[in-house]
Chains A and B, each alone.
Chain A
């Protein structure tokens, strides 16, 4: 029997804290042991492939989604369709389930004291939980990307992809850009994850903590649908969920993408830091206190509002030098240029389909004349009342060809051009080729207007 404690024993009895790596592994084990997380992982690695393969075999394609109209043509359109859907719904939901619950789960289970006694460091607990939820999120996003790409390539094939300005990307280019696009949305996903951590810490057991990333994402998507000034639009991390569109133009529209990524990362860092500070201030001795409260909520919200204000101010100052920061960023000349460029690329594609003599975009000298809502209204801003007349020249032909398009331009700069004739060029959804009827690339096409660029000419 050793019913005595010596000074020697006491000297070696300092508090032993679990390392961050052990905390990370512990949190990962807990997360992966949950059925809902396992189901999510399975779903993210299987469902997109089935969805893309299934939709690609349908006669009706999701043309309202970017690249949806090309799902018959190439397997690389599928992962971009899934990416568009993921940015709107899936990623906010996934961040809610993973990051939005990682702290609140301990409140629900009543395990905080157990965890604190075992780890003896709130800082390491926070780090372990943050890294573990990040790991699971990355696994889920990787599943969505890999699964949808595999489903598309297997079901449709490794074909060239038509970019947002109509130019053709080789399969290798398409693969790289699809990968880049998925990497780019990691930034806004991290921002939502940071908000999820913040909600989980600040709102405790409240269901609002779990729902916060979804609600914030929804609110920001609604904001993106409003006719906001460019600076405000780019100051919200949700813009990065659509900024990857710029990768599929030639040249790539990198400025909005980089700004969106930077803003998203700033949100991720600030939201995570706020969650960390609130977590360290929490009193774990009081079981009825789950850390939520008006002060905690205020301390979490106000700095993020401040970040938006600062970002808007910085962007307004920097953008004003090159574009109208306070405007919509959608002007007549930009729309004309985008439509003409896309038309030229797609006309060349149609020419090849019809086995006509090859023609280059330069020789076509395509131009567009666009107005909005007739001549009485200023031709700028979003709307479905844009009308463009595209003109082009064929080598050896004196007269210029003309085609009409109705445009629906959304506030984020994306547009859908709907051909109004003539029928032989863009008025019908099929073209008759020696191999049979095939989809007419000039009938309807998607494009986008870079909000930050200055009008050419």
Chain B
């Protein structure tokens, strides 16, 4: 079986007048992969997502979606669903009516069971017959996702799907996206929430001023990063502090200004040095109760890769 990419973009350029929104962007998304698009405001994320949805056509470059070359606007192949700049919902219709109208529009099977199933997946069963006018942002996001699910997409394109979600809503959305990816759907999502991207995405593309500054697996991004700050909680803080000071590559960080906790140690290190510290702590009989980066690797990379460009303007 010859496998194709869900998205294959090469040298995509798109300008709006004098503003270059995308400048030679490459992007590969395989079926079954959740791919994150990260970048500061104005980086070109929404423009790129719009191209994937067929809302615009690139000025130059080639774009294949689900194995089909995309030419004209709105020529994106069937099987692509999603939204940019928030889901489009009609406030005078109920959640169920929104989905039924959309299903009827697409000529899809608009059976009650299919709509009920989509609503259940995103956790909106209880408000299925309420008008969308009264929905919160998080509920609108989930209903937008349900609308996309109805089309049984093979490529799902989502712009900031986690906006406004409460923990329960976030759990629903993450569950849906993970299931879709498991079933072979390619998912491309943009987000400013690094925890979401790290929790969901296997691969990530960082955009800054329309250019790709990084593209690849999240793990590779973390490896390439500089030293990170870590928060370590142990059973014996003085001993741990002593061991950290003695471990090569570990620097103790002044925690002034950080909420004081006598059991917590802040260190700055590369991953290998941190591994060595963990080994030493265990050998010394000091229990490690918590180890977490103060800033996530993705966020650190995001700041490192994008701030220089912003500073250079």
Q: A: which residues have CB within 8 A of B?
A: 1-7, 9-11, 13-16, 18-19, 22-23, 25-26, 29-30, 33-35, 109-122, 283-287
Contacts and interface: CB of A to CB of B under 8 A. Distances in A.
A113 B78 contact: no
Given A1-B183, A33-B92, A33-B97, A16 B78 contact: yes
Contact of B56 (A7, A11, A22, A285): A285
B285 interface: no
A117 B54 contact: yes
B302 to A, nearest CB: 24
Nearest to A284: B55
Interface of B: 1-6, 16, 30-33, 47, 50, 53-56, 66-68, 74-93, 97, 101-102, 104-107, 144, 147, 154, 181-184
Given A1-B182, A7-B67, A110-B85, 7 more contacts: A4-B31, A6-B4, A26-B102, A109-B89, A117-B54, A119-B105, A285-B55
B77 A15 contact: yes
A1 B56 contact: no
3 nearest interchain CB pairs? A114-B88, A10-B67, A3-B32
Contacts of A19: 107
A15 to B, nearest CB: 5
A234 B89 CA distance: 45
Contacts of A119: 105
Given A18-B105, A33-B92, A6 B3 contact: yes
Contacts of A23: 105
A107 to B, nearest CB: 11
Contacts of B97: 29, 33
Contacts of A16: 78, 106-107
B105 A10 contact: no
A22 B105 contact: yes
30 contacts: A1-B182, A4-B32, A5-B4, A9-B66, A9-B67, A10-B66, A10-B68, A13-B68, A14-B68, A15-B78, A16-B78, A16-B107, A18-B107, A22-B105, A29-B97, A30-B90, A30-B93, A30-B101, A109-B91, A110-B85, A111-B88, A113-B83, A114-B87, A114-B88, A116-B55, A117-B54, A117-B76, A118-B102, A118-B106, A120-B76
Nearest to A287: B85
B66 A5 contact: yes
B98 to A, nearest CB: 10
Given A110-B85, A114-B83, A33 B183 contact: no
B22 to A, nearest CB: 11
B81 A117 contact: yes
Contacts of A9: 4, 66-67, 154
B47 A285 contact: yes
A26 B101 contact: yes
A116 B90 contact: no
A23 B91 CA distance: 18
B78 A13 contact: yes
Contacts of B53: 113, 117
A13 B182 contact: no
A122 B104 CA distance: 18
Contacts of A284: 55-56
A285 B66 CA distance: 22
B68 A116 contact: no
A25 B92 contact: no
Contacts of B76: 15, 117, 120
A13 B88 contact: no
Contacts of B80: 117
Given A10-B4, A13-B77, A35-B92, A25 B68 contact: no
Nearest to B53: A117
Nearest to A17: B74
B120 to A, nearest CB: 22
Contacts of B2: 6-7
Given A6-B3, A13-B66, A117 B78 contact: no
A208 to B, nearest CB: 23
A2 B185 CA distance: 8
A35 to B, nearest CB: 7
Contacts of B183: 1-2
Contacts of B32: 1-4
A15 B74 contact: yes
Contacts of B181: 3
B31 A121 contact: no
B89 A111 contact: yes
Contacts of B101: 26, 29-30
Contacts of A29: 93, 97, 101
Nearest to B87: A114
B184 A285 contact: no
Contact of A25 (B50, B87, B91, B104): B104
B20 to A, nearest CB: 14
A30 B104 CA distance: 13
Contacts of A121: 74
Contact of B84 (A3, A11, A113): A113
Nearest to A285: B56
A382 B80 CA distance: 66
Nearest to B5: A5
B78 A14 contact: yes
B74 A120 contact: yes
Contacts of A117: 53-55, 76, 80-83
Contacts of A22: 104-107
A14 B77 CA distance: 5
A420 B1 CA distance: 100
B88 A110 contact: yes
B3 A26 contact: no
Contact of A120 (B54, B84, B154): B54
Contact of A33 (B3, B68, B90, B105): B90
Contacts of A26: 101-102, 104-105
B5 to A, nearest CB: 7
A74 to B, nearest CB: 42
Contacts of B16: 285-286
Nearest to B157: A117
Nearest to B50: A285
B253 to A, nearest CB: 42
B78 to A, nearest CB: 4
